[in-house]
Copies of this chain bind each other. A is one copy, B any other.
């Protein structure tokens, strides 16, 4: 016999989870304790629960799935924004909240970490708003409910929530008989063949075809399958912002980043004038489409998702993109239509003097190796992130639509843990965002991970100055001594504070040689300097809004 908690841990391992983030508390100590010397799962204690949930998100984006453990009420509610973000961005996280023993709940008393109104379901009810499925475990349902939740997260890749009362956690059950039969969404045969026939008809006559790769490819980790299909068919492809780096951008059929009005003229014209567009797992959200400025005629768009296909405004339920990709791969189809010529701007020559937003892309781009995971925080930094080139296994992580500042720093911890030395995380964050969740740097030092942290110190919420209060004090933040942070957090790091391009280049060269420790570069910049892509974004969003 094993405990319910151990049963859960074994199921998490089937998802590939090797590390769990969280904060201990008396309602979860009974099972956090089991992780102290666990054979297969490490406990990554965080300074607070929001950071833990963000870390689990970063981890999931690299390893496929993430998990976070919090305590009842106080802990789980602190993590809510992180889990809601994972829902908004479709990132699969298992959130396990420790709960009071069932007999304590039954008394409906005013016990600590409860609302005092006798309602012990309220936190699960809150989580129902931001999770694909939730479960409240008891002595009778624990194993079945765990299995249901795991099957669900595998299938849909959205966050799930488990309330695990302290006494249920230690209750003894039979170990799983065999691994779960983890299944992806499957298609209805008839629907699928209707869809595929339509596609084939339109594709075979197309002289200009285009594939758009979306986020779901990352979430379902079917990148290799896509690469093979694209290789075989020779179809030209683009990515969206949220999936940038999903496939090696040095691939000769890669045609750039499609983001409506902000795309390069060549990429935009190719996508929007194609006879047929095959979109796989694309989120048509405000950021990916840059204020819904995309313009792909409905008659030419095949919008494939994990569970459905939308063609010409009609939704075919139970038709999964996995099957469509399979069918295309097995077919004899080879694209012989047009391939666009995409010119990429060459990197500017080394620059000198003041550091401006427009200089940053080329500098940061030079840091990206084949195994880099680059996290670009919401703020001005997000807007330069479309300019980098991701080759090999390198990729971009952004908060995108949820756009919660403070996400990227703890997510960098999660990514670093997930990478297990196979690659390096680079964080680019604003000062305002960093201040939200700065204590994750302490956890990085504690775990001896070695990301490169680049802080854009432009004295406040620069991106907001474009919308309101250019000079207003509510957009200022307290001026910290950022390079003192690692020492204050009790760790060893390589740090630099740079004012000029010369200093920046030299710092960049040095951090590449400090593989073995956390590196932190603070870049001093002007308060009002906005990156050009942000200006374009705002213009696309709101053509009559100018920079005051």
- In the complex the two chains form, what is the Cα distance from A461 to B477 in whole Å? 31
Stretch at the interface among A75-83, A189-197, A509-517: A75-83
Stretch at the interface among A180-188, A365-373, A386-394, A438-446: A438-446
Task: Please indicate the chain B residues that have their CB under 8 angstroms from the CB of A33 in the complex.
Answer: 468-469, 472, 474
Given A467-B29, A484-B484, A489-B478, A402-B74 contact (CB < 8 Å): yes
Assembled-state Cα–Cα distance A84/B487 (Å):
35
Asked if B484 and A488 make an inter-chain contact with CB atoms under 8 angstroms apart, the answer reads yes
For window 459-505 of chain A, which residues contact chain B by CB distance below 8 Å? 461, 464, 467-469, 472-481, 484-485, 487-491
| Chain B CB within 8 A of A403 CB | yes
Verify if A26 is at the interface (C-beta below 8 Å from B).
yes
Decide if A222 is an interface residue (CB 8 Å cutoff).
Answer: no
CB contacts (< 8 Å) of A435 on chain B: these are 47-48, 439, 442
**A480 with B442, Cβ < 8 A, contacts A112-B403, A474-B24 known:** yes
**Closest Cβ of chain B: how far from A290's Cβ, in Å?**
11
The chain B residue with its CB closest to the CB of A127 is B126
Nearest B residue (CB) for A48: B436
For the complex formed, measure the closest distance between the CB of A406 and the CB atoms of chain B, giving whole angstroms: 6
Query: Given A109-B292, A116-B401, A480-B442, is A488 in contact with B491 using a C-beta cutoff of 8 Å?
Result: no
| A interface residues, tally (CB under 8 Å) | 81
Q: Residue A438 contacts which of B439, B487, B491 (CB distance < 8 angstroms)?
A: B439
Binds B, one of A245-253, A280-288, A332-340: A280-288
User: Does A255 belong to the interface (CB within 8 Å)?
Assistant: no
Could you tell me if B474 and A479 are in contact, using CB atoms closer than 8 angstroms? no
The minimal Cβ–Cβ distance linking A46 to chain B, given in whole angstroms, is 9
Which of B45, B73, B488 meets A480, CB within 8 Å? B488
**Closest-CB distance, A3 to chain B (whole angstroms):** 14
Q: Does A87 reach chain B (CB closer than 8 Å)?
A: yes
- Asked if A130 CB lies within 8 Å of chain B CBs, one says yes
For A77, the closest partner residue in chain B by CB is B81
**Which residues from B are CB-within-8-Å of A443?**
478
A50–B50 CB distance below 8 A: yes
Beyond A47-B436, A78-B50, A478-B490, whether A130 also contacts B115 by CB under 8 A is yes
Closest Cβ neighbor of A130 among chain B residues: B115
Contact partner, A445, options B115, B405, B478, Cβ 8 Å: B478
Q: Which residues of B contact A403 (CB under 8 A)?
A: 74, 112-113
Is the CB of A144 closer than 8 A to any CB of chain B? no
B-facing residues in A298-356 (Cβ within 8 Å): none
A488 close to B490 (CB less than 8 A): no
Which residues of B are found within 8 Å of A48, using beta-carbon distances? 50, 406, 435-437
C-alpha gap A480/B438 in the complex (Å) = 13
B285 lies within 8 A of A474 (CB): no
Q: In whole angstroms, how far apart are the Cα atoms of A123 and B81 in the complex?
A: 11
Contacts of A536 in B (CB 8 A): none
CB<8 Å pairs between A and B, sample of 27: A24-B468, A24-B469, A25-B464, A29-B464, A29-B467, A30-B468, A32-B474, A35-B474, A36-B473, A47-B477, A74-B405, A77-B84, A78-B80, A80-B80, A87-B115, A109-B286, A109-B292, A110-B285, A111-B401, A112-B403, A115-B129, A438-B438, A439-B439, A442-B478, A443-B478, A478-B489, A485-B488
| Residues of chain A whose beta carbon lies under 8 Å from any beta carbon of chain B | 24-26, 29-30, 32-33, 35-36, 43, 45, 47-48, 50, 73-74, 77-78, 80-81, 84-85, 87-88, 109-116, 122-123, 125-126, 129-130, 283-287, 292, 401-406, 435-439, 442-443, 445-446, 461, 464, 467-469, 472-481, 484-485, 487-491
Extra contacts besides A32-B474, A481-B488 (12): CB < 8 Å = A24-B474, A36-B469, A45-B474, A47-B436, A47-B477, A73-B88, A74-B81, A74-B84, A74-B405, A125-B129, A435-B439, A479-B490
In the A-B complex, the 8 residue pairs with the smallest Cβ-Cβ separation, listed nearest first, are A110-B285, A74-B404, A29-B468, A77-B81, A48-B436, A47-B435, A446-B478, A484-B488
